[in-house]
Amino acid sequence: MIGEETTVRSVGVELGARRYEILIGPGLVREAGRHIAPLAGGARAFIMSDETVAAHHLEPLTDSLARAGLASSAHVLAPGEASKSFGELSRALDWLLEAGANRGDVLVALGGGVIGDLAGLTAALMKRGMAFVQVPTTLLAQVDSSVGGKTAVNTRQGKNLVGAFYQPRLVLADTATLSTLAHRERAAGYAEIVKYGLIGDPEFFDWLEANGAGVMDLDAGLLARAVARSCEAKAQIVARDEREGGLRALLNLGHTFGHALEAANGYGPGLLHGEAVACGMCLAARYSVRAGLMADSEAGRAEDVLARAGLATRLPRLSGGPYDPSALLEHMQQDKKVRGNALPLILMRGIGRAFIQPEADRADLLDFLQAEAAAE
Ligand SMILES: NC(=O)c1ccc[n+]([C@@H]2O[C@H](COP(=O)([O-])OP(=O)(O)OC[C@H]3O[C@@H](n4cnc5c(N)ncnc54)[C@H](O)[C@@H]3O)[C@@H](O)[C@H]2O)c1
Ligand SMILES: [Zn+2]
C-alpha cells in the first residue's frame, strides 16, 4: 500500500473556492473510497459508466466505496458518442431523482470523455448542482476532458452545443485502468499529450521525443509523468481563463482542422477525435511553415513524435478519407469557435510557441488544403 501511495502524483486546479485536486497514478480506483468519502455529505455515491468500462472497473470501484462506508448504485450506458444525448441526460436525471439523490451525495463518472461530459452535465443540473467526481479511464479523458469543467451533450445540430461549465470536486486518474483500453484509443489520447508540448512546453516536447514510446507502452512511471504534466498544462490555462475568453483557445491547437475532419467523416467510428487532432496539428504546423512562421525542421519533429505513436500525419493517409479540401474549409467556417466572418486559427512560431491568428486567409487556406490532399 505504501508503495502505491508514493507513486501517486497530484495536480491542483486553482479556481479559488472551486479549487480541486487531480490525483494521478496506478491503483486509484481501488483506493477511491477513502478519497471520495470525505466529499460525500450524504454517504451515498451514484456511479455513471458505460458497459465496456463497467465490465472491467466498476466492481473494484464499488468495493472500495463500500469499504469507506459509502453505499453506491450504478447507471450503465451503451458505450459510444451516441450516449452523450438529451435522452440519456434525462434518463440519468430520472435515475437520480427516483433514487432520492441529494446535493450532498456524490455523482461519480467512471469512463471516458463521453461519460465524463454527460455525468458532469447531469451533476450540474441535479438540484442545481450535486457533488461530482471524475474517474477518467481513457488517456484522452485523463489528460483532457476530465480537466477544466466543460460538460455537454450533443444535439442534432452538432456536437457539444448544449452544456455547462461545472467543475468536479476531485479527479482520480487511475493510470492502471488504461491497460484495458484499445491501442487505437491510447494513441488518440497521446495526440492530446503531444498538443501540450506543442502549445507551450518545448521541454515536455523534448521529453516526449525521448520517452513517448515508453508512455505508449504504459510504463507506469513515464505514463504518470506524462499525464501529470498534461494536467498541469491544462490546469494552468484553465485557471487563467476558465470560460474561454482567449488563452483557453490555445487548447484548440489542431482542433479547427481536426473538427473539420471529424465533421467531414460524419463523426463516425472511422476517425477518432485524437486521430483527427493529430493530423490537424500537423496541418497547423505545415501551414505555419508555409506562412513563414515556423521552421520546416520543427514541423518535422512534431510529425515524427505523432507518427511514432502510429498516428497519421498526412491527409491522404488519414483513416476515414478521402477528405475533400473545399468540404473541409466549409466545415472550418462552421466551427463554433468562428465568430462573425473571421476564421481564427491556432498556429505556431516553433515547438512550444503556439499563438492565436485571429483571421486566416480563406483562399490561401484552400490552396494549402488542396496541396495537402494531393501530396504523397
Ligand atoms: N469536456 C472536455 O473538455 C472535453 C475535451 C475533450 C473531449 N471531450 C469529449 O470526450 C469525448 C471523447 O472521449 P473519449 O475519447 O474518452 O471517448 P469514450 O468515452 O467514448 O471512450 C472511448 C471508448 O473506450 C472505451 N473505454 C473507456 N475506458 C476504457 C478502459 N479503461 N478500458 C477499455 N475500454 C475503455 C469506451 O467504452 C469507449 O468505447 C467526446 O465526446 C468529446 O467531445 C470533452
Ligand atoms: Zn481534443
Residue 121 inside a domain? The answer is: yes
Residue 61 and residue 202 in one domain: no
- Reference 167, options 150, 154, 144, 142; nearest CA is 150
Q: Tell me if 273 is assigned to some domain.
A: yes
pTM: 0.95
Specify the ligand 1 atom closest to the Cα of 50.
Answer: 37
Judgement on whether residues 33 and 160 belong to the same structural domain of the protein? yes
Q: Which of 154, 252, 265, 303 is catalytic?
A: 252
Residue 222 lies in a domain: no
CA 348 to chain centroid: 21
Residues 133 and 54 occupy one common structural domain: yes
Do 101 and 189 lie in a common domain? no
User: What's the rounded Cα separation, in Å, for the pair 84 and 156?
Assistant: 11
Nearest CA to ligand 1 atom 3: 145
Spans in the chain with pLDDT lower than 70: 1-6, 42, 245, 335-341
Amino acid identity of 87?
G
pLDDT for the residue numbered 339: 63
Q: Is residue 237 part of a domain?
A: no
- Residues with Cβ–ion distance below 5 A, ligand 2: 277
What single-letter amino acid sits at 361?
D
Query: Which pLDDT does position 239 carry in this prediction?
Result: 87
96, 107: one domain:
yes
At residue 35, the pLDDT reads: 96
Residue 337's CATH number:
1.20.1090.10
Q: What does residue 236 show for φ and ψ, rounded to 5 degrees?
A: -60, -45
- Domain-embedded: residue 232: no
Last residue of a domain, one of 124, 157, 180: 180
Does residue 5 carry a catalytic annotation?
no
Q: Which of 84, 255, 286, 331 is catalytic?
A: 255
Instruction: Give me the pLDDT at residue 16, please.
Output: 87
- Identify whether 227 is part of a domain: no
Catalytic-residue membership of 56: no
Count of structural domains within the chain = 2
Q: Are residues 254 and 357 in the same domain?
A: yes
Domain membership flag for residue 120: yes
* pLDDT on residue 1: 39
d(CA 246, CA 334): 19
What per-residue confidence (pLDDT) applies to 340? Answer: 66
CA of 301 from ligand 1 middle (Å) equals: 27
Residues 52 and 196 in one domain: no
Is 173 in the same domain as 187?
no
136 C-beta closer than 6 A to ligand 1: no
User: Known catalytic residue: 341?
Assistant: no
Same domain, 164 and 18: yes
Of 305, 145, 276, 111, which is closest to residue 216 (Cα–Cα)?
A: 305
> Do 202 and 121 fall into the same domain?
no
Name the closest ligand to CA 199.
Answer: 2
Start-to-end CA distance of the chain, whole Å, equals 53
Instruction: Determine which residue's CA is closest to atom 41 belonging to ligand 1.
Output: 114
Looking at the structure, do residues 39 and 165 belong to the same domain, yes or no? yes
Enumerate the H helices of the chain as residue ranges. 2-6, 32-36, 51-67, 86-98, 113-125, 139-140, 183-200, 202-216, 220-240, 255-264, 273-290, 296-307, 325-334, 362-374
Domain extent for 266 = 183-217+244-374
Which of residues 133, 163, 180 is at a domain's end? Answer: 180
Catalytic (active site) residue 192: yes
- 248 annotated active-site: yes
Question: Does residue 98 lie within any of the structural domains?
Answer: yes
Q: Residue 117 CA: which ligand is closest?
A: 1
122 and 267 in one domain? no
User: What does the pLDDT read at residue 166?
Assistant: 97
What is residue 243's predicted lDDT score, i.e. its pLDDT? 74
What are the tens digits of pLDDT across the range 329-339? 999 988 655 66
Question: Quick one: pLDDT at residue 30?
Answer: 97
CATH number at residue 118: 3.40.50.1970
